Amino acid sequence: MSVSAGGALRGLRGRTWPTRTRPSGEFVLAMLVTSLALCPLAYLAWRAGEGGERSLAALWHPRTGELLLRSVGLAITVAVTSALCGLPLAWITERVALPGRRVFAVLFALPLAVPSYLTAFALVAVLGPRGALADLLDRAVGLERLPEMYGFAGAWGTLTLVTFPYAYLSIRAALRGLDPTLEDAARVLGESRRAAFSLVTLPLLRPAIVAGMLLSALYALGDFGAIAVLRYPTLTYSIYNQYRLSFDRSAAATLALLLVVLSAAAVVAERRWRRRAVFYRSVGTRRPASLQPPTWWAWLVLGGGLSLVGLALGAPVSVAAYWWWRARVLSEDMPAVGQAFLNSLLVGFAAAVLTVCLALPVARVVSQSQTSFARLLDVPLWVAYSLPGIVLALSIVSLTARFLPFLYQTIPLLLLGYALRFLPEATGTLKAVFAQQNPRLEEAARTLGLRRWSIWWRVRLPLAFPGLVAALTLVFLTTVKELPITLLLSPIGFSTLVTVVWNATAEAYWTHAALPTLLLVAIGVIPMVLLGLWQERVQSGQGG
């Protein structure tokens, strides 16, 4: 199946089904979701405009240009390294018969559940110039100082550790939905395994890789925690300072608009790069890919992956475990975390379900529509995603306190805030999966008399199942660690694990932060294990 032939077929389909051009229910829903994401952006424009000259002064400040370059550099490098980490890890957990591969599959996604500032704190405590490792080396070989970890290298490394699961999860979902017969065909035609991978698999995985990279890049743009701890000031750092130091909301909004432009450019670049191509199998039915026997290469990747997780997860967990032990020794009063644990779990699940529901129509419209307008519908979502959490939180505060006071600081608004923040995690993953669906199947369903909504229920969603699971997991993991929106928009007195951790670390009560930090990691395991195992069963059931 060639890309050009697919494109031609698709064009033909566009002509033979004129009804597709009329706005469908999905399209209307997608428009609604998009306009929701436009609200905070409109607020920012208004707020920046209100500042007048002060806003302009913030924009033209010489420091702004420097910070802008730093932001761009960090975003690009983090995106590249997280894809380089995610791709091989997705491959070995999905295609290589490694012992215990289900456990590893869960493990590799978990670093996402740890807030970046905690990872950064823990890395400094372990790898810092005077951290545990330096202490050990000092005693063992008399090495006085470790290489400097602050600055660009530290921020880059930490953000890669926190964001590589984005690429990993989205590539893994795409690998699962990939038709292995295409690779087999390449092998039958005499290509080596490596050539088959680079000629067939890699190009087919491109939407997923790019979606993962985009998530990592935009996360890096909007991150404050890691860059603050590792002392690498970016544009986001400056935005936080405008709020924290001078209470200058207009200047902050102006700088945030600069981020908006940056991320919009990144998304459009992604669209260009992706070009028009088809990623679905054209004929026959699907069978699961056969597992390769593990080679030395796979073991190497596994080792690398485990050391990444060891740093991203091991460092915070061991630091937290140390403080927990200290707290036991001192028999300190610890804040109760049972309720917070439950709250995190439930809010996380509810937000994940809501976000995925909102993402479905958008992902569908964007991946299947013929008009360029429709294909750009998700751009505002990505842009909102790149905003620093506090900017999005304060714009929601302003808009709802003004226009929807009855919703302000309620659970529904909190969930909506999470959804606005994390929608692209779901649309990105789902889009990649929808792109793998052969439209022939839908056409067949329509020929067989299924209605529009039954097609969703009986064809599209079941086919998108791996993507649904990946999207739910992603949104759950990131929601659980979200801080600024939780602090400002949750009902009063509503605590989650991350607010308990924040309350403790903000004032250096490390012992109080220990248990909730451990639980934060544990809570990430729950959906991963449940959904992971369930997914395995479904797949093996089909394969058999």
Residue 318 binds to other proteins (criterion: CB under 8 A): no
- Tell me whether residue 104 or residue 494 sits nearer to other proteins (CB atom): 494
Under the phi-then-psi rule, with left for phi > 0, alpha for psi from -120 to 50, and beta for the rest, what region is 275? left
Q: Which of residues 57-86 bind other proteins (CB under 8 A)?
A: 61, 63
Instruction: Count Cβ atoms within 10 A of the Cβ of residue 302 and give its class: 0-12 exposed, 13-18 middle, 19 or more buried.
Output: buried
Q: Which of residues 132-151 bind other proteins (CB under 8 A)?
A: 150
Three-state SS for 37-57 is HHHHHHHHHHHHHHHCHHHHH
Q: Which of residues 524-543 bind other proteins (CB under 8 A)?
A: 534, 538, 541-542
Contact 14, 370 (CB under 8 A): yes
How many residues are recorded in the chain? 544
Type of residue found at 241: N
- Tell me whether residue 164 or residue 502 sits nearer to other proteins (CB atom): 502
- Tell me whether residue 367 or residue 511 sits nearer to other proteins (CB atom): 511
| CB-based contacts of 300, cutoff 8 Å, min separation 6 | none
Start-end of H helices in 189-337: 193-196, 202-222, 225-229, 235-246, 249-274, 296-309, 315-330
**Torsion angles phi and psi, residue 289, rounded to 5:** -70, 145
d(CA 521, CA 179): 34
Q: Out of 41, 169, 504, 519, which residue is the one contacting other proteins (CB under 8 A)?
A: 504
Q: What is the largest CA-CA distance in the chain?
A: 77
Q: Out of 9, 133, 199, 241, which residue is the one contacting other proteins (CB under 8 A)?
A: 241
Residue 499 binds to other proteins (criterion: CB under 8 A): yes
- Tell me whether residue 209 or residue 356 sits nearer to other proteins (CB atom): 356
The tokens 């202490």 sit on which residue? Answer: 135
Residue 322 binds to other proteins (criterion: CB under 8 A): no
**Minimum CB distance to other proteins, residue 349 (Å):** 4
**Minimum CB distance to other proteins, residue 488 (Å):** 5
Q: Out of 292, 318, 370, 410, which residue is the one contacting other proteins (CB under 8 A)?
A: 410
**Minimum CB distance to other proteins, residue 108 (Å):** 23
| CB-based contacts of 410, cutoff 8 Å, min separation 6 | 491
Residue 440 binds to other proteins (criterion: CB under 8 A): no
SS3 percent helix, strand, coil of the chain, rounded to 5, is 80, 0, 20
Q: Out of 83, 208, 468, 480, which residue is the one contacting other proteins (CB under 8 A)?
A: 468
Q: Out of 140, 141, 283, 329, which residue is the one contacting other proteins (CB under 8 A)?
A: 329
Q: Which of residues 368-407 bind other proteins (CB under 8 A)?
A: 390, 394, 397-398, 401-402, 405-407
Q: Which of residues 257-276 bind other proteins (CB under 8 A)?
A: none
Q: Out of 40, 233, 424, 428, which residue is the one contacting other proteins (CB under 8 A)?
A: 233
3-state secondary structure of 96: strand
Tell me the site size for other proteins, rule CB under 8 A: 85
Residue 492 binds to other proteins (criterion: CB under 8 A): yes
